[in-house]
Structure 1
Amino acid sequence: MTSVTTATTGDPGPAAGGSPGPRTMPDESQQDTTWRGGPRRPGFVTAPFDRRTWLRYGYLWVALLMAPFALAYAILTVVLTAGLAVTLVGLFVGGILVVGARGWASAYRGMAAAMLITEIPAPPDRRRVRGFFRRMGSLLGDAHGWRALLFMVVMFPLSIAGFVASTTVLASAVGLITQWYWGRFLPEQEAADGTVHRAIQMGPDWYVDTPPRHLLVTALGVLLFFLWPWVNWLFTQVALLLSRSLLGPTRASLRVAELERSRAGTVQDADARLRRIERDLHDGTQARLVAVAMQLGEAKDQLDSGGDPDEIRDLIGTAHASTTDALGELRELARGIHPPVLDDGLAVALETLAARAPLPVTVDVDPGVGARGAIRPEVESIAYFCVAELVTNAAKHAGASGVYVLVERRDGDIRLRVRDDGRGGAAISRPTPAGDRSGLGGLAERVRSLDGSLTIDSPAGGPTVVTVLLPGSVGS
């Protein structure tokens, strides 16, 4: 490892290894792809009186009521689509029914959220296409609609089995617990030995009409009552597994949506950067160069007319100073687009960045990563800007006294870890509508544009540890 320390204080690096593991940043753009809540396992003693148990039982009731209509809709969709396949216009009807299954899926997701305390994200919206045949193909080929139809078919026997099993166990439990009271009102029954009994019969010539038998059967009913929540939990777990598999987004659709967001973010980032460069050139460098031209023109006029040499010297000196300032601004702009120091490799670039930082920075770079041409230029550039942004944040916002930067290759990827000893509490923010993608939000967008990930661990009081994983393709 290449290590460069610009601090005289203790190295904060070793402490990074003892910090708690990073947690994923609460990026609001990804909140719709995480499942929250869920049917927790019931406690054996308190479960029969828990609100969640009765909500699960209500879910089985509602699912049973919806199941026949959902199955009829699914069968109608398949039969009608197959029957109208010989026509073109009729296929639109089948396609509309396929897309309409998304509404059923939404209803089932709402049931899961309200009764099972589990939010299942909706799949991406269907894309609108133009053209007769393309529109028809889009309707009939809606994968999320067909997955919803499959869920409706599978849910029919599951809802019946779940409701019957749960209701049977509950009714049996209540009946056995109260049999000591209502058993006396049953009609008389004659046993094989000729005796007459007025009680429930459990087996040949075994009647519950004595105190010990009453106590035994009541205990069995209590046991069934406490086992009943587990029956609810089991069937709702299966229903949730089906819901997540068939009613939520697929990995492919999530990946496509993430790539679309990353592409849009990259385009916005590039547009905002171009606008910022244009504004800086127009308001800064261009104005200075115009002033230089005017000052040199005035000096030329005075020189031609035999003006005061001291005044001419002052004009030329002012023009020279303005030219120097303009060159400095151009260098800063060029460094913001692509730092020239990256031409010598990431390690040299980070060492230079550490030397210019307003606080002590320790840099450890794996030679296999930091050497010139070791990784792709775009990965190298984003890694550099990530470190620059995080070091700036530590100095400006965290009140840190030191920063430790570690860059290494981990499982084929580039792992970049930045730790500061500041006050903590760092959080990601979404880019503004105006296109400002600075800060952690902008870093997250840049990293995702390369199929990478950014995580943060920043408890109140610090330290803050930001970990960036980037694809580790070898540079050309």
Structure 2
Amino acid sequence: MTSMTVDRRTAGTAAPGRTARPGPHFLTAPLASRTWREQGYLALVLLLAPFAFTYTIFTVSFTAGVAITVAGLFVAGAVVLGARGWGAAYRSLARELLDVDVAAPAPYERPRGFWRAVGSMLGDATGWRALLFMFLALPLSAVSFIVSVTFLATGLGGLTYWFWYRFLPEQPGADGELHRGAQFGSSYFLDTPPRLALAALIGLVVILCWPWITRTFTMLFRALTRGLLSPTRASLRVAELERSRTGTVDDADARLRSIERDLHDGTQARLVAVAMQLGEAREQLLDGGDVREAAELVDTAHSSTKEALTELRELARGIHPPALDSGLTVALETLAARSALPVHVDVDPGVESEGRLAPALESIAYFSVAELVTNAAKHARATGVYVLVEPVGDTVRIRVRDDGRGGATVVPPDGSGLRSGLAGLAERVHSVDGTFDLSSPVGGPTVVTVLLPTSGSSGRA
């Protein structure tokens, strides 16, 4: 089944096209590319760490030193913002060498006004979180690199000891003989075949443990990268609300322009024709003209007036369906009765109890169902639609299922400012802190689930 979820909380950290690599086997881990990439990450982080640490100390001390000067505060704010560049560099390293693709925080937007700009620069949370990462990176990178390289060198040394021990200088032992090899105590030398084999065995064990020691340290860096260099939940929420607000404003503007065009090209033109017809009929009656012709003009004007009223009702229904005044259940049943497809509506009585849905949310629920029923009739070649509306905790769930051919997708906006079809519907749902889920495998069925916050929960979002 193909499933696509459009949700404000979907802020994935996986890069498009990037798949998680499976972990290597214990015995092959020392030869795995992942192990060597992780070791390379530790080496590069250690190279960067002194410079990053110096930048952090400079930022803190410089900010404290110039706090009494206005110009100095502005420069200090720029230095804090500069930490964003360091954060981007560390995220890039983690993405390329650790397969951790952390989304970049929202870009800094300078507010209007000098003091507000200075305050936002000095208080930039993204910059300070990057500085904290840089402060912690120095001790962690030093310890991790030293321990990791020590394990690697010890393991390789033990495995190859049988070859290079013979080049060591001779040393007198307690037995009065000269020995070559590593000395432990006064008379224990690694220079006999059993002891050479023991050294190789110890080296093998150490080299097999080395990848997991390295991985332990890189796991700490992964956690730090995700925790300090990723967007905060609050910033993601603010960015999503800004996008939703922009989309809602664009949709409202497009809708108003559409209503304006319909009124100008349709209803207004028809009313102008009615006025001309009535004016011509009046002139004929005043001048003693043909009464029959005047009656025909009045009859035509009467028909045009009724058509104009019908158009106005359709426009009003598109803005606010009159049936909603009697509740969501009645409105959806009316919609089902007017649909070209058989539509079965099942609304739980708890949805409308105690004003569970605010009027604005009822309108969104109605138009969501209307849009989905229309899509099923026009595009899905469906023979029937089932609509279920029920309370689920602090939300109201709307599930619309059709038996059409499936294959529906949410097409993102094309940049023109207009959002049509499912994309516009998803944007409208997100603007009120709701969620929109689409499952539409090829061949059907198509199931759309919309969750809207209730009147009691929307204030807590």
Range that drifts further, 71-80 or 216-225: 216-225
- Contact map agreement 1:345 1:371 (CA 8 A) in 2: no
- Contact map agreement 1:81 1:91 (CA 8 A) in 2: yes
Which residue is 2:75 aligned to?
Answer: 93
Range that drifts further, 30-39 or 220-229: 30-39
Q: Using the TM superposition, give the Cα deviation of residue 440 of structure 1 relative to its aligned residue in structure 2, in angstroms.
A: 1.3
Q: Using the TM superposition, give the Cα deviation of residue 181 of structure 1 relative to its aligned residue in structure 2, in angstroms.
A: 1.0
User: Which of the numbers 20, 34, 49 marks the counterpart of 2:13?
Assistant: 34
Q: Using the TM superposition, give the Cα deviation of residue 413 of structure 1 relative to its aligned residue in structure 2, in angstroms.
A: 0.8
Structure 2 residue 226 is the aligned partner of structure 1 residue 244? yes
Distance 2:154 2:385 in 1: 66
Which secondary structure does the structure 2 equivalent of 1:468 belong to? strand
- The Cα offsets for residues 14-62 of structure 1, whole Å up to 9 and x where unpaired, read as xxxxxx796523x7x9876534466754332343333222221111111
Rate the CA distance shift 1:252–1:30 in 2: closer, same or farther, 3 A.
closer
- Contact map agreement 1:348 1:370 (CA 8 A) in 2: no
Once the two structures are superposed, the pairs formed by residues 131-170 of structure 1 within 5 Å of their partners are 131-170=113-152
- Contact map agreement 1:147 1:247 (CA 8 A) in 2: yes
Distance 2:203 2:171 in 1: 23
Structure 2 residue 261 is the aligned partner of structure 1 residue 279? yes
Q: Using the TM superposition, give the Cα deviation of residue 281 of structure 1 relative to its aligned residue in structure 2, in angstroms.
A: 0.2
- Contact map agreement 2:434 2:451 (CA 8 A) in 1: yes
Which residue is 1:429 aligned to?
Answer: 411
User: Which of the numbers 298, 312, 323 marks the counterpart of 2:305?
Assistant: 323
Distance 1:424 1:177 in 2: 61
Which secondary structure does the structure 2 equivalent of 1:91 belong to? helix
Structure 2 residue 450 is the aligned partner of structure 1 residue 471? no
Which residue is 2:156 aligned to?
Answer: 174
Which residue is 2:431 aligned to?
Answer: 449
Rate the CA distance shift 1:372–1:403 in 2: closer, same or farther, 3 A.
farther
Once the two structures are superposed, the pairs formed by residues 12-91 of structure 1 within 5 Å of their partners are 23-25=4-6, 34-36=13-15, 41-91=23-73
Range that drifts further, 378-387 or 466-475: 466-475
Q: Using the TM superposition, give the Cα deviation of residue 203 of structure 1 relative to its aligned residue in structure 2, in angstroms.
A: 6.8
Distance 1:379 1:300 in 2: 49
Rate the CA distance shift 1:466–1:441 in 2: closer, same or farther, 3 A.
same
- The Cα offsets for residues 177-231 of structure 1, whole Å up to 9 and x where unpaired, read as 1111112212223443445432334677444333343334323323333332222
Q: Using the TM superposition, give the Cα deviation of residue 436 of structure 1 relative to its aligned residue in structure 2, in angstroms.
A: 2.1
Which residue is 1:259 aligned to?
Answer: 241
What residue identity is the alignment partner of 2:392? R
Range that drifts further, 363-372 or 151-160: 363-372
- The Cα offsets for residues 83-107 of structure 1, whole Å up to 9 and x where unpaired, read as 2223332222322211111111111
Bigger relative CO (Cα 8 Å, ≥ 6 apart): 1
Structure 2: give runs of 5+ residues left out of the alignment. Answer: none
What residue identity is the alignment partner of 1:470? L
Rate the CA distance shift 1:204–1:456 in 2: closer, same or farther, 3 A.
farther
User: Which of the numbers 312, 319, 332 marks the counterpart of 2:314?
Assistant: 332
Which secondary structure does the structure 1 equivalent of 2:289 belong to? coil
Q: Using the TM superposition, give the Cα deviation of residue 114 of structure 1 relative to its aligned residue in structure 2, in angstroms.
A: 1.7
Which residue is 1:231 aligned to?
Answer: 213
Q: Using the TM superposition, give the Cα deviation of residue 415 of structure 1 relative to its aligned residue in structure 2, in angstroms.
A: 1.0
User: Which of the numbers 292, 298, 302 marks the counterpart of 2:280?
Assistant: 298
Which residue is 1:15 aligned to?
Answer: none
Distance 2:120 2:368 in 1: 41
Distance 1:468 1:228 in 2: 50
Which residue is 2:110 aligned to?
Answer: 128
Structure 1: give runs of 5+ residues left out of the alignment. Answer: 1-19
What residue identity is the alignment partner of 2:238? V
Q: Using the TM superposition, give the Cα deviation of residue 272 of structure 1 relative to its aligned residue in structure 2, in angstroms.
A: 1.1
Which secondary structure does the structure 2 equivalent of 1:293 belong to? helix
TM-score (norm 2): 0.91
Which residue is 1:192 aligned to?
Answer: 174
- Contact map agreement 1:389 1:439 (CA 8 A) in 2: yes
Which residue is 1:16 aligned to?
Answer: none
What residue identity is the alignment partner of 1:267? V
Q: Using the TM superposition, give the Cα deviation of residue 332 of structure 1 relative to its aligned residue in structure 2, in angstroms.
A: 0.8
Distance 1:30 1:440 in 2: 18
Identity between Structure 1 and Structure 2 (%)? 60
Which residue is 1:348 aligned to?
Answer: 330
- Contact map agreement 2:168 2:181 (CA 8 A) in 1: yes
Rate the CA distance shift 1:437–1:253 in 2: closer, same or farther, 3 A.
same
Distance 2:306 2:185 in 1: 105
Distance 1:424 1:231 in 2: 50
- The number of residue pairs the alignment matches comes to 454
What residue identity is the alignment partner of 2:299? G
Structure 2 residue 413 is the aligned partner of structure 1 residue 413? no
Distance 1:22 1:414 in 2: 21
